[in-house]
């Protein structure tokens, strides 16, 4: 006998015999997992309860073996929030609460987050009965967690979708199961080398036509827009678009990865448009003269839409390629579209257009006048250590001051900044004030003061804080 096996209990066998005799069915509704009270479990037909039961829930999934109609499997999904034990046995229960079958399984640790790790656990056991037709597996879809296998089977029952078997087939609109999520799209849309050059196109992802008004539609995945010869780096978008309940609209969150020019980033927007009489949510793309000719879409979606691409206007020639899309496009979806910041692009040249940041988040630079730091929000700080050649020797009443010194900022401000001065090294007990000229957007002045005259040089720390754009 195998080390791990499933055994109908005596109660289960009696229920089968009785069902056959009376032309009835046995309803199996629940499964449970136990830890055997810390001991190995060997299934015994006399068992009436599961040793050390830890979790019980409705059956998550079932399927008859197409090659052997006397055999079927049942699944139990244990959520991430349940655990703190090691499972080693599983029970299947009838609708009256009786233990129908018991199985032993390899030790299955089920940690919880408070222990430092957590995971969802799916347990599958196989049952074999002489006449499987008398066994009715009850799956309550409102109370269970769906297994990946169940979701894929139900998904492909949709007759309006074309299943893709070759991931390198360039035919648009083919669907296939991909990735850890098990469902999604992976397809290529190819065109000539210059077809997308200077062309605006839309990627339709979610049908928001409000009939029926309670349809749930969503796309969550990655879109790569690239040159098929690999010469240029791809534009990579992380996209989540979801239909708004009872509205012909959607929310869109689009993060643009990698270092792209602002021209390319500003040409990517979430949008709504009409195509063949239906309203869609998706992405409007214009990548200027970068001649992209290859689009790869992969992700997880729910709803009635197979993602598609429509080219609708040539920006260079003003030629309208699809009048319906061109006339109906709107950029009014709530949400976010912008650059995704990473370690690779958080520091670099900052920029702005009409008050909207267009570059990195932080820029730091230096020249002969000192150092400066610019932030994407428009703030800027300049600083330096200034070696003043002579200290305070000019008497002003009972104290002494130096000549006026001037500091030209290492980068001009957009307006007059707040400037400050302080002794950093030298003779000690000095303080500073504004010099002979007022602070401007490009420079400031200062004088050094002390209670007694000293001609030696003084090191002054200078700092100014303001904005590089208003």
Q: Which CATH architecture has domain 352-467?
A: Sandwich (2.60)
pLDDT, tens only, 248-283: 888 888 887 755 554 456 678 889 999 988 888 888
Q: CA gyration radius for the chain? A: 35
pLDDT, tens only, 118-176: 778 888 888 877 666 677 666 554 444 445 555 555 544 544 445 545 544 445 444 44
Dist. CA 63–CA 272, nearest whole Å: 41
Tokens linked to 25: 């069915």
Tokens linked to 324: 């319906």
Dist. CA 17–CA 24, nearest whole Å: 10
Q: What is the pTM of this model?
A: 0.45
pLDDT at residue 181, as a whole number: 31
pLDDT at residue 19, as a whole number: 85
Dist. CA 282–CA 203, nearest whole Å: 5
Q: What is the pLDDT along the chain (470 residues), one digit of tens a residue?
A: 578 888 889 998 899 888 888 888 888 889 999 999 999 999 999 999 999 999 999 988 787 776 677 778 888 888 888 899 999 999 999 999 999 999 999 898 898 877 777 778 888 888 877 666 677 666 554 444 445 555 555 544 544 445 545 544 445 444 444 332 333 444 444 443 345 567 888 888 888 887 655 556 788 888 877 766 666 677 788 888 888 877 888 888 888 775 555 445 667 888 999 998 888 888 888 866 556 666 777 766 666 666 788 889 888 888 998 999 999 999 878 877 777 777 767 888 888 877 877 778 899 999 999 999 999 999 999 999 999 988 899 999 999 999 999 999 999 999 999 999 999 998 899 999 999 999 999 999 999 999 999 988 899 999 999 999 98
Q: Which whole-number Å values give the CA distances from 122 to 82, 125, 462, in the listed order?
A: 12, 10, 64
Backbone phi and psi for residue 199, each to the nearest 5 degrees, phi listed first? -115, 130
Please report, for the chain, the start and end positions of each structural domain, with discontinuous segments joined by +. Answer: 6-155, 185-339, 352-467
Beta strands 135-137 and 26-34, pairing class: parallel
What are the strands, taking DSSP E only, across 266-378? Answer: 268-275, 278-285, 294-302, 308-314, 319-320, 335-339, 352-353, 356-357, 362-367, 370-375
Tokens linked to 278: 């239906």
Beta-carbon contacts of residue 275 (< 8 Å; ≥ 6 apart): 202, 204, 310, 322, 324, 325
Q: What is residue 132's three-state secondary structure?
A: helix
Measured from the Cβ of residue 5, the count of other Cβ atoms closer than 10 Å reads 14
| Torsion sign across C-alpha atoms 417, 423, 426, 427 | positive
Q: Which whole-number Å values give the CA distances from 409 to 32, 439, 459, in the listed order?
A: 73, 10, 17
Q: Cβ(236)–Cβ(258) under 8 Å?
A: yes
| Torsion sign across C-alpha atoms 212, 213, 218, 224 | positive
Tracing tokens 């052997």 back to the chain, one arrives at 68
Please spell the DSSP secondary structure of 418-460, one letter per residue: EEEEEEEESSSS-EEEE-SS---SSEEEEEEEESS---S-EEE
Dist. CA 279–CA 217, nearest whole Å: 12
Q: How far apart are the first and last CA of the chain?
A: 80
């Amino acid at each position: 006998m195998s080390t791990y096996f499933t055994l109908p209990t005596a109660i289960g066998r009696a229920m089968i015999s009785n069902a056959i005799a009376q032309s009835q069915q046995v309803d199996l509704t629940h499964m449970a997992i136990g830890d055997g009270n810390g001991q190995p479990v060997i299934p015994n037909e006399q068992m009436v309860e599961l040793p050390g039961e830890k979790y019980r829930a409705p059956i998550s999934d079932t399927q008859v073996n197409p090659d052997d109609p006397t055999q079927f499997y049942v699944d139990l999904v244990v959520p991430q929030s349940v655990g703190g034990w090691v499972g080693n046995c599983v029970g299947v229960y009838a609708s009256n609460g009786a233990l129908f079958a018991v199985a032993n399984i390899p030790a299955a640790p089920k940690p919880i987050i408070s222990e430092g790790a957590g995971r969802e656990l799916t347990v599958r056991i196989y049952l074999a009965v002489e006449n499987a037709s008398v066994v009715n597996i009850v799956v309550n879809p409102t109370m269970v967690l769906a297994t990946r296998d169940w979701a894929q089977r139900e998904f492909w029952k949709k007759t309006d979708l074309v299943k893709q078997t070759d991931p390198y087939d360039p035919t648009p609109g083919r669907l296939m199961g991909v990735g850890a999520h098990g469902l999604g799209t992976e397809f290529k849309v190819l065109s000539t080398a210059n077809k997308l050059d200077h062309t605006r196109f839309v990627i339709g992802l979610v049908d928001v036509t409000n009939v029926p008004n309670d349809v749930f539609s969503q796309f969550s995945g990655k879109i790569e827009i690239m040159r098929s010869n690999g010469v240029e780096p791809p534009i990579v978008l992380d996209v989540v678009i979801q239909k708004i309940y009872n509205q012909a609209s959607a929310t869109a969150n689009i993060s643009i990865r990698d270092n792209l020019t602002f021209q390319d980033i500003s040409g990517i927007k979430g949008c709504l448009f009409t195509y063949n009489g239906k309203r869609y949510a998706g992405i409007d793309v214009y990548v200027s003269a970068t001649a992209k000719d290859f689009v790869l879409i992969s992700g997880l979606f729910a709803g009635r839409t197979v993602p598609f691409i429509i080219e609708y206007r040539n920006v260079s020639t003003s030629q309208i390629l699809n009048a319906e899309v061109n006339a109906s496009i709107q950029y009014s979806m709530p949400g976010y579209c912008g650059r995704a910041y990473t370690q690779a692009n958080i520091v670099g040249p900052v920029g702005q257009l009409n008050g909207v940041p267009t570059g990195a988040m932080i820029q730091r630079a230096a020249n002969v006048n000192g150092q400066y730091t610019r932030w994407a929000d428009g703030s800027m700080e300049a600083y330096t250590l200034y070696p003043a050649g002579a200290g305070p020797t000019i008497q002003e009443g009972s104290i002494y001051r130096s000549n006026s010194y001037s500091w030209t900022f290492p980068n001009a401000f957009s307006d007059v900044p707040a400037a400050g001065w302080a002794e950093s090294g030298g003779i000690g007990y000095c303080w500073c004030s504004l010099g002979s000229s007022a602070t401007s957007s490009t420079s400031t002045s200062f004088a050094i003061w002390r209670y007694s005259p000293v001609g030696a040089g003084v090191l002054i720390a200078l700092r100014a804080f303001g904005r590089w754009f208003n």
